[in-house]
Amino acid sequence: MAKNTPTTGLVEEMQKREVRRSWLLSAPALAVLFAAASGPLLIVLVYSFLAGGRYGGVEWQLSGKAWFSVILQRDIFDDTVKLADAHLSILWRSVKLSFLTTVTTLAVGFPTAYFIATRSARNRNVWLFMITIPFWTNLLIRTFAILEVIRNEGIVNTALRLAGVTEQPIQILYTDAAIMIGMTYVYLPLMVLPLYAAMERMDFRLVEAAYDLYATRLQVLWRVIIPLVKPGIVAGSILVFIPSLGAFVTPRVLGGGKNMMLGNLIELQFGAGRNWPLGAALSITLLAVVMVALLFYVRTVQRGSARAR
């Protein structure tokens, strides 16, 4: 026994060094991330429990007012508490439009991903590249491209007028529909990529077996393909839903001043609204919803990869 001790000690010492080296190398990145990304989130949490200053900023006193006014408001005349309709309608619009965007991207993205996954190995990369390129280009520019298409003097309305279908332009810009079209356009790659990843490793022998057993094409789709790629469907849906819920640029450019979403409501509190604590409370609310969705996402992905093995 005594003979073994020095070597075990040496191995332990080396492992300790390796761990210390790992921490030392990671430390600078972690420090920057803490200072300019994670740490400030804690300050937001603190601010949500403070009272607002008259010209923006905060007063350093504890207050639950911000959290109260996330969904409630006190009547200015008789002091009764009721639901804050303005906030609720914005929250509802955010959830509704994010959900619709998710459904639309799924409806369009599913056939697209399937199309890419069933190409030959060489062509597949080209199609995949074509989906990825818009994803890496500027979100503002893509939103602007949609704005030009749907505005009253834009291509769609001009074409309809020249074709004699309409006399007056159809107002699409600055409506909820415009925001939804924009978000669908902008977030589509986020749906296609995980769907493709799931379809690419799908075992087509199962499809063949289903056809051998006299399944129709629709049955194969519903009973074989969709259950097989379900983790990809869930992953894609969450990846689209999360940024949609926190969208800021797209609703601002395409929704105009009236059709706000949660992100714009938050910005308002730090701008003209001058209610920093409320803005902080709304941010924490958004963050909490996103975290729940992410946990769900991680669990689905883990279960999916466990099954694939």
Partner 1 sequence: MRARRAFALKRLPGFTAVALTCFVLLYAPIVMLVAYSFNAGKNIAVWEGFSLQWYVSAWHNEQVQDATIRSLVLAALAAVFSTVLATMAALGTTRTRPFRGLTAVYAMINQPLMVPEIVTAVALLIFFALIKTATGIEGMVYLVAAHTAFCIPFAYLPIRARLEGMDLTLETAAADLYATPWMAFRRVTLPLMLPGILAGAMLAFVISLDDVVITEFVKSAGQETLPTYMLGQLRRVITPEINAISTVLLGISVLIVSLFFIISRKRA
Site for partner 1 in 64-83 (CB under 8 A): none
What token pair was written down for 239?
């990846």
Query: Among residues 59 and 81, whose Cβ is nearest to partner 1?
Result: 59
Q: Which residues neighbour 100 within 8 Å (Cβ) at sequence distance 6 or greater?
A: 180
User: Does residue 140 interact with partner 1 by CB under 8 A?
Assistant: yes
DSSP 177-192: HHHHHHHHHHHHHHHH
Closest CA to 253 of 189, 170, 185, 173: 173
User: Does residue 227 interact with partner 1 by CB under 8 A?
Assistant: no
Q: Which residues lie across from 72 on neighbouring strands?
A: 83
Residues 256-295 that bind partner 1 (CB under 8 A): 263, 266-267, 270, 276, 279-280, 283-284, 286-287, 290-291, 294
Figure out which of the listed residues 144, 175, 176, 197 binds partner 1, where binding follows CB under 8 A. 144
Residues 177-216 that bind partner 1 (CB under 8 A): 185, 188, 204, 207-208, 211
| Least Cβ distance, residue 26 to partner 1 (angstroms) | 4
Closest CA to 184 of 289, 254, 282: 254
Applying CB under 8 A, the span of 41-49, 61-69, 83-91, 230-238 interacting with partner 1 comes to: 41-49
Q: Is the dihedral of CA 267, 271, 273, 278 positive or negative?
A: positive
Residues 87-126 that bind partner 1 (CB under 8 A): 108-109, 111-112, 114-116, 118
Return the amino acid letter for 245.
Answer: L
Figure out which of the listed residues 13, 21, 59, 72 binds partner 1, where binding follows CB under 8 A. 21
Query: Among residues 38 and 83, whose Cβ is nearest to partner 1?
Result: 38
Q: Which residues neighbour 290 within 8 Å (Cβ) at sequence distance 6 or greater?
A: 242, 245, 246
User: Does residue 29 interact with partner 1 by CB under 8 A?
Assistant: yes
| Least Cβ distance, residue 236 to partner 1 (angstroms) | 14
What's the burial of 244, exposed, middle or buried (CB within 10 Å: 0-12/13-18/19+)?
Answer: buried
Figure out which of the listed residues 41, 71, 83, 86 binds partner 1, where binding follows CB under 8 A. 41
| Least Cβ distance, residue 199 to partner 1 (angstroms) | 10
Residue reference for tokens 């490793």: 201
User: Does residue 154 interact with partner 1 by CB under 8 A?
Assistant: yes
